[in-house]
């Protein structure tokens, strides 16, 4: 894999070059020879750099100078001290010399090349590194300055140094083949001038370059006769090694993992810090000592490397080259297209190529995959679209995605001013006044919806603005006017909330799966459909839904563009608003009873995240605890001290589970849950698998649990049944599963549809524990993410008292229904739609913007009616880290939306109610 360091200063780079990059102690398998670096890169060639790296050339480039003339290529300043915002002294970074991009071979590859003595494997590593660096260079950008976008240059200078051992751990330097590629901080623009590199392009390309390296390495190893299988981390590993031997040969990785666990940190930045903090001092081992230790370790595990090499050499003599690389490339690119565009409307070309490389690993080359992608791009199967301002790669979508987005927008526009309002303006106003407790914002929305002449009308409702009562009043008015009102929502939880408004509702997915355009009423009846939580709906779902409406149907599309969006591609609710869908604003927040908390939530709702977080800090609602374990313990203690009507929100499932475990420890100490807990084998949904993934055997793992929603007569698999994966054959793309009666079935996963994939997990539950259901269950009448309290466990059955105004009990067989988890901490996505008196939020700023963003801040804090508290590792940077957005992409931008016109002209119809009236936050 590829890791890229933080920027190296000039002094750091020159020190590393002298003491580490060229040190003989890093190259024991070359009998103590000093490491001689090698130049690579288009700019290196332009400047006449080739062959070995000289210390003088390296030193000059580290200072930003021409390696031959000593002329300054990049302006820089030396380090200086200054006072920071907290009054402390900070050292600024001197000139950034460059970055250390390290390509590390999988452990089995290192053992085969070094302990097994197969130099061909080492050559395969070198060739793979060269290709991956060439592709990384393609996305080099020049830093222009100001707020100007970076300029693509595609040129850099890299110095490569190959090493064959890892840093020692407890006196043992394990075999580890890796290459340090120092990328210097200089590139050349089209006009010939030189500039510093904009490093974001490098980091954006990291996963892509890893895929190129692993793909090229795997293909070459396969051609040498080695069999490849996915390792525990997903990297390709050579078959023939036991996991015990691989683990024993990876003490450095284990040391870093243990340090991360000790500190409670997570994320790539934290891993880099842990790696530096656990470095053993260099020890003067001789080559003989190191090689002897490796041989001793190998012998204790049966000399597996020698056996693997011998088997591969014999296989290479027998195997025939299969001329299928091009067809495999076609399959790989098709897979990448289907997988990526299921989740996103627009994708960077590196993501498409990355997934294609992973799918075709060992079966085709990067060159063939790139050629196949370029051919399809030329044929219009991938359409180039405008990316973000600072993107370092090209962005693409598909013709099908564009067509679906246009269809949704056109449906909205063609339905404007084409249908009689549900009520006259006077009657709508009268209906809005039937409830005395409604505020002006609610009344305005009711009037607008009931008096709208559009087939599709939007309702943008902020969190905690009284949507349930508003929809109930609209329903009553529509039914009084002869309409059949029915509701849909992307989640079972949201559908249940619609039913609380007296609306007959089901999930959008179940409606679309039935292929019907009504729930039971006569199709000739006039319908008002309410589509709630529309921000969670995908473009294709919205298109399918709208296409089934009859001329007598109208729809109220309800959502909040500021909250979390769905998993699948598109943001149709926001896009239809941008295209001109008439949208009422429900924006007077009423949930927060504390006026100071209300002000903070108001800022978060308006996307003023920095101000909102600053206000929470001023109110004493933010606690900084740097150590992750200590932070989680503090949250657990806070919860245990006041657990009534309290929920915990955390961005990711890993920390959520850690918090749940910590809370149970505190509750057990206080005697609030029983001591006689029982272990249950629950099922956790594998949300990382797309539909395309589910057709690829290699994406499954042994012991995965599969649920067959539709079943298969051909395979003898019953509808709704479960099975466990017992064997995965990636080469033949076959799965062998054990079904309920103990028999096994082997099949190609491409032949089956409607398969849910789970992983087993052990959870202890006791009376008093909080529980959340993780899938809906019609028999129990529970929705996905419904919460409750365990009130009884007996003979394999569990009884849970559900939250809500009815507090009813449900009892289920835990061996049959296994999709449940602890319910103390929830992810931000799972908390959407909930209300609690008190909310505790855990935020580790080291996590990615996909998890840490303004939607997390808004959704999690706005759940609270009385109090919200944030626990974080870094209070100083919290506001700015949360000020990022994680928005779903769309194939059509705002300007193109304005150019979409109805297929037939419409005449405008004025209404007595202003459709552009803004009722304000009412704070």
Residue 481: CB partners within 8 Å, gap ≥ 6?
A: 422, 423, 450
pLDDT in the model for residue 265: 54
Q: Using an 8 Å Cβ cutoff, are 365 and 325 in contact?
A: yes
pLDDT higher at 281 or 737: 737
Mean pLDDT of 747-758: 94
pLDDT higher at 250 or 539: 539
pLDDT in the model for residue 234: 75
- In whole angstroms, give the CA distance from residue 885 to residue 562: 10
Q: Is the dihedral angle over the CA atoms 420, 899, 894, 568 positive or is it negative?
A: positive
The torsion angle over the Cα atoms of residues 342, 754, 546 and 832, rounded to 10 degrees, is: -70
pLDDT in tens, 786-812: 999 999 999 899 999 999 877 899 999
Helix (H, G, I), strand (E, B) or coil at 871: strand
- In whole angstroms, give the CA distance from residue 492 to residue 499: 11
Helix (H, G, I), strand (E, B) or coil at 557: strand
400 has a pLDDT exceeding 50 = yes
- In whole angstroms, give the CA distance from residue 341 to residue 344: 5
Confidence of residue 36 (pLDDT cuts 50, 70, 90): confident
486 has a pLDDT exceeding 90 = yes
The tokens 């309410």 sit on which residue? 530
Q: Is the dihedral angle over the CA atoms 474, 478, 479, 484 positive or is it negative?
A: negative
pLDDT in the model for residue 288: 81
pLDDT in the model for residue 205: 95
pLDDT higher at 201 or 258: 201
pLDDT in the model for residue 285: 67
Q: Which two tokens stand for residue 322?
A: 């299969």
Q: Which two tokens stand for residue 712?
A: 């298969």
pLDDT in the model for residue 287: 75
Residue of 304, 354, 74 whose CA lies nearest to 188: 74
Mean pLDDT of 424-430: 95
Q: What is the DSSP string of 517-531?
A: SSSSS-TTS-EEEEE
Confidence of residue 79 (pLDDT cuts 50, 70, 90): low
- In whole angstroms, give the CA distance from residue 126 to residue 124: 5
pLDDT higher at 820 or 233: 820
Longest dimension (CA), the chain: 95
* Cα–Cα distance list, 625 to 628, 634, 844 (Å): 7, 9, 10
The region, left, alpha or beta by phi > 0 then psi within -120 to 50, assigned to residue 373 is alpha
468 has a pLDDT exceeding 50 = yes
pLDDT higher at 75 or 438: 438
pLDDT higher at 252 or 758: 758
Residue 292: CB partners within 8 Å, gap ≥ 6?
A: none
E strands of 257-296, at which residues?
A: none
Q: Which two tokens stand for residue 718?
A: 């019953």
553 has a pLDDT exceeding 60 = yes
221 has a pLDDT exceeding 70 = yes
CA distance from start to end of the chain: 51
700 has a pLDDT exceeding 60 = yes
E strands of 651-717, at which residues?
A: 678-685, 705-708
Pairing of strands 187-188, 194-195: antiparallel
pLDDT in the model for residue 570: 94
pLDDT in the model for residue 235: 86
Pairing of strands 81-83, 151-152: unpaired
pTM for this prediction: 0.88
Confidence of residue 452 (pLDDT cuts 50, 70, 90): very high
pLDDT in the model for residue 84: 47
- In whole angstroms, give the CA distance from residue 620 to residue 633: 19
Residue 595: CB partners within 8 Å, gap ≥ 6?
A: none
416 has a pLDDT exceeding 70 = yes
pLDDT in the model for residue 905: 44
Q: Using an 8 Å Cβ cutoff, are 99 and 5 in contact?
A: yes
pLDDT in the model for residue 769: 96
* Cα–Cα distance list, 161 to 53, 167, 317, 636 (Å): 9, 15, 33, 48
Mean pLDDT, all residues of the chain: 88
917 has a pLDDT exceeding 60 = no
Percent of the chain, pLDDT > 70?
88
Mean pLDDT of 287-298: 84
- DSSP letter assigned to residue 697: G
Residue of 595, 474, 490, 468 whose CA lies nearest to 528: 474
pLDDT in the model for residue 388: 72
pLDDT in tens, 566-587: 999 999 999 999 999 999 999 9
Confidence of residue 523 (pLDDT cuts 50, 70, 90): low
Give how far the C-alpha of residue 361 lies from the chain's centroid of Cα atoms, to the nearest Å. Answer: 22
Angle between the 349-359 and 366-378 helix axes, to the nearest 10 degrees? 130
- In whole angstroms, give the CA distance from residue 624 to residue 639: 17
Q: What angle do CA 527, 533, 538 make, to 5 degrees?
A: 95
The tokens 């800090």 sit on which residue? 617
pLDDT in the model for residue 30: 64
- In whole angstroms, give the CA distance from residue 835 to residue 877: 28
- In whole angstroms, give the CA distance from residue 530 to residue 488: 6
- In whole angstroms, give the CA distance from residue 873 to residue 877: 9
* Cα–Cα distance list, 315 to 225, 319, 597 (Å): 5, 6, 69
Residue of 570, 144, 194 whose CA lies nearest to 390: 144
pLDDT higher at 555 or 172: 555
Q: What is the phi/psi pair of residue 535, to 5°?
A: -65, -20
Pick from 69-73, 77-81, 149-153, 199-203: least confident: 77-81
Q: What is the phi/psi pair of residue 456, to 5°?
A: -120, 120
Mean pLDDT of 658-665: 96
Pick from 142-151, 437-446, 713-722: least confident: 142-151
Residue 520: CB partners within 8 Å, gap ≥ 6?
A: none
Q: Which two tokens stand for residue 191?
A: 């006009």
Q: What is the phi/psi pair of residue 755, to 5°?
A: -115, 125
pLDDT in the model for residue 197: 95
Q: Using an 8 Å Cβ cutoff, are 689 and 756 in contact?
A: no
Mean pLDDT of 750-768: 94
Three-state SS sequence of 340-358: HHHHCCCEEHHHHHHHHHH
Residue of 133, 97, 109, 130 whose CA lies nearest to 12: 97
Per the document, the length of the chain is 923
Give me the residues paired with residue 230 across strands.
236
- In whole angstroms, give the CA distance from residue 891 to residue 158: 36
Helix (H, G, I), strand (E, B) or coil at 102: strand
- In whole angstroms, give the CA distance from residue 152 to residue 157: 15
- DSSP letter assigned to residue 677: -
pLDDT in the model for residue 519: 47
- In whole angstroms, give the CA distance from residue 853 to residue 887: 10
Pick from 92-101, 235-244, 714-723: least confident: 92-101
179 has a pLDDT exceeding 90 = yes
Give me the residues paired with residue 801 across strands.
789, 809
**Could you give the count of Cα atoms lying within 13 Å of 24 in the half-sphere of its Cβ?**
9
Confidence of residue 625 (pLDDT cuts 50, 70, 90): very high
């Amino acid at each position: 894999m590829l890791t890229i360091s933080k920027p190296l200063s000039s002094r750091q780079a020159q020190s590393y070059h002298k003491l580490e990059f060229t040190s003989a102690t890093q190259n024991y398998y070359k009998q103590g020879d000093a490491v001689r670096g090698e130049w690579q890169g288009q700019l290196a060639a332009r400047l006449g750099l080739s062959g070995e790296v000289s210390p003088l050339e390296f030193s000059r480039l580290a200072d930003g100078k021409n390696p031959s003339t000593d002329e300054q290529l990049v302006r820089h300043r030396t380090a200086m001290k200054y006072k920071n915002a907290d009054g402390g002294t900070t050292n600024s970074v001197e000139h950034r010399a460059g970055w250390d991009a390290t390509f590390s071979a999988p452990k089995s590859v290192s053992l085969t090349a070094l302990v097994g003595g197969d130099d061909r494997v080492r050559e395969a590593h070198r060739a793979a590194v060269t290709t991956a660096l060439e592709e990384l260079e393609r996305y080099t950008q020049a830093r222009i300055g100001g707020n100007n976008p970076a300029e693509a240059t595609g040129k850099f200078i890299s110095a490569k140094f190959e090493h064959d051992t890892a840093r020692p751990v407890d006196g043992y330097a394990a075999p580890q083949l890796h290459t340090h590629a120092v990328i210097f901080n200089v590139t050349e623009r089209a006009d010939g001038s030189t500039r510093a590199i904009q490093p974001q392009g490098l980091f954006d390309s990291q996963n892509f370059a890893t895929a190129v390296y692993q793909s090229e390495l795997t293909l070459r190893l396969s051609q040498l006769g080695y069999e490849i299988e996915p390792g525990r981390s997903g990297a390709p590993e050579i078959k023939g090694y036991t996991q015990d031997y691989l683990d024993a040969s990876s003490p450095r990785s284990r040391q870093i993992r243990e340090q991360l666990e000790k500190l409670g940190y997570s994320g790539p930045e934290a891993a880099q810090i842990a790696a530096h903090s656990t470095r053993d001092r260099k020890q003067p081992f001789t080559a003989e000592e190191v090689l002897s230790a490796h041989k001793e370790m190998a012998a204790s595990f049966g000399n597996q490397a020698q056996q693997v090499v011998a088997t591969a050499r014999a296989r290479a003599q027998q195997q025939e080259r299969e001329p299928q690389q091009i067809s495999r490339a076609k399959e790989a690119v098709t897979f990448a297209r289907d997988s990526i565009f299921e989740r996103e409307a627009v994708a960077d070309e590196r993501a498409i190529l990355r997934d294609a490389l992973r799918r075709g690993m060992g079966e085709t080359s990067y060159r063939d995959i790139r050629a196949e992608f370029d051919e399809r791009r030329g044929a219009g199967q991938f359409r180039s679209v405008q990316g973000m301002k600072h993107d370092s790669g090209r962005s693409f979508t598909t013709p099908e995605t564009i067509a679906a987005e246009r269809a949704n927008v056109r449906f909205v526009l063609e339905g404007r001013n084409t249908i009689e309002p549900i009520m006259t303006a006077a009657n709508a106003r009268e209906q809005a006044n039937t409830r005395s407790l409604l505020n002006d914002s609610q009344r305005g929305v009711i009037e607008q919806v009931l008096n709208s002449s559009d087939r599709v009308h939007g309702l943008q409702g902020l969190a905690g603005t009284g949507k349930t009562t508003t929809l109930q009043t609209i329903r009553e008015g529509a039914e009084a006017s002869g309409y059949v009102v029915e509701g849909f929502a992307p989640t079972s939880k949201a559908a249940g909330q619609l039913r609380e408004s007296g609306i007959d509702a089901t999930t959008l997915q179940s409606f679309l799966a039935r292929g019907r355009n009504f729930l039971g009423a006569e199709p000739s009846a006039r319908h008002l459909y309410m589509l709630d939580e529309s921000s969670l709906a995908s473009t294709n779902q919205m298109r399918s839904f709208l296409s089934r409406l009859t001329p007598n149907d109208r729809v109220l599309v309800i959502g909040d563009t500021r909250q979390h969006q769905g998993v699948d591609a598109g943001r149709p609710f926001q896009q239809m608003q941008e295209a001109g869908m008439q949208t009422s604003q429900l924006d007077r927040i009423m949930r927060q009873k504390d006026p100071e908390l209300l002000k903070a939530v108001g800022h978060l709702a308006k996307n003023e995240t920095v101000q909102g977080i600053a206000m929470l800090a001023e109110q004493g609602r933010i606690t900084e605890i740097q150590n992750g374990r200590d932070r989680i313990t503090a949250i657990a203690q806070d919860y245990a001290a006041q657990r009534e009507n309290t929920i915990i929100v955390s961005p990711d499932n890993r920390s959520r589970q850690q918090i749940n475990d910590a809370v149970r420890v505190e509750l057990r100490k206080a005697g609030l849950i029983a001591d006689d807990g029982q272990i249950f084998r629950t099922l956790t949904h594998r949300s990382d698998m797309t539909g395309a993934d589910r057709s690829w055997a290699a994406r499954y793992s042994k012991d995965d649990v599969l649920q067959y929603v539709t079943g298969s007569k051909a395979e003898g698999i019953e509808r709704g049944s479960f099975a466990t994966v017992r064997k995965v054959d990636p080469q033949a793309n076959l799965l062998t599963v054990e079904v309920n009666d103990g028999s096994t079935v082997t099949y190609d996963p491409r032949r089956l549809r409607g398969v849910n994939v789970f992983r087993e997990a052990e959870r202890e539950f006791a009376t008093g524990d909080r529980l959340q259901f993780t899938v809906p269950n019609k028999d129990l009448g529970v929705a996905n993410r419904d919460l409750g309290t365990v009130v009884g466990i007996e003979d394999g059955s569990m009884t849970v008292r559900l939250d809500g105004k009815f507090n009813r009990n449900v009892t289920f067989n835990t061996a049959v229904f296994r999709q449940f988890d602890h319910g103390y901490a929830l992810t931000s996505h799972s908390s959407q739609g909930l209300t609690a008196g008190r909310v505790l939020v855990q935020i580790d700023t080291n996590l990615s913007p996909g998890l840490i963003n303004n939607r997390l801040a808004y959704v999690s804090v706005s759940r609270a009616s009385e109090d919200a508290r944030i626990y974080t590792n870094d209070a100083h940077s919290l506001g700015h880290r949360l000020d990022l957005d994680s928005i779903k992409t769309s194939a059509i931008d705002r300007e193109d939306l304005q150019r979409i016109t109805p297929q037939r002209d419409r005449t405008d119809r004025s209404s007595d109610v202003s459709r552009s009236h803004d009722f304000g936050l009412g704070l």
